[in-house]
Amino acid sequence: MQSAKSLSDKLREPTIEDGSAMWRVARDSERLDLNTPYAYLLWARDFAATSVVAEVDGVVGGFVSGYIRPDAPGTLMVWQVAVDEACRGRGLAGRMLDELAERTGAHALETTITADNPESIALFSSFARRRGAEHTVADLFTADVFPDGGEHEPELLHRISPLH
Does residue 55 have a pLDDT over 90?
yes
Asked whether the beta carbons of 48 and 103 are under 8 A apart, the reply is no
Phi, psi dihedral angles at 135 (to 5 degrees): -125, 110
Q: How high is the pLDDT of residue 143?
A: 87
Domain count, the chain: 1
Does residue 5 have a pLDDT over 80?
no
Identify whether 2 is part of a domain. no
- Residue type at 12? R
Residue spans of alpha helices (H) in 47-111: 92-104
Asked whether the beta carbons of 52 and 12 are under 8 A apart, the reply is yes
Identify whether 62 is part of a domain. yes
Q: How high is the pLDDT of residue 152?
A: 83
CATH number of the structural domain spanning residue 64 = 3.40.630.30
Cα dist from 164 to 30, 69, 94, 107, 130, whole Å:
33, 18, 16, 7, 11
Identify whether 4 is part of a domain. no
Does residue 4 have a pLDDT over 60?
no
Q: How high is the pLDDT of residue 9?
A: 84
Q: How high is the pLDDT of residue 82?
A: 96
Range of the domain at 147: 9-161
In this predicted model, what pLDDT tens digit does every residue of 104-147 receive, in sequence order?
999 999 999 999 999 999 999 999 999 999 999 999 998 888 88
Average pLDDT, integer, range 13-35? 94
Identify whether 132 is part of a domain. yes
Phi, psi dihedral angles at 83 (to 5 degrees): -130, 130
Angle, helices 92-104 vs 118-131, to 10°: value is 50
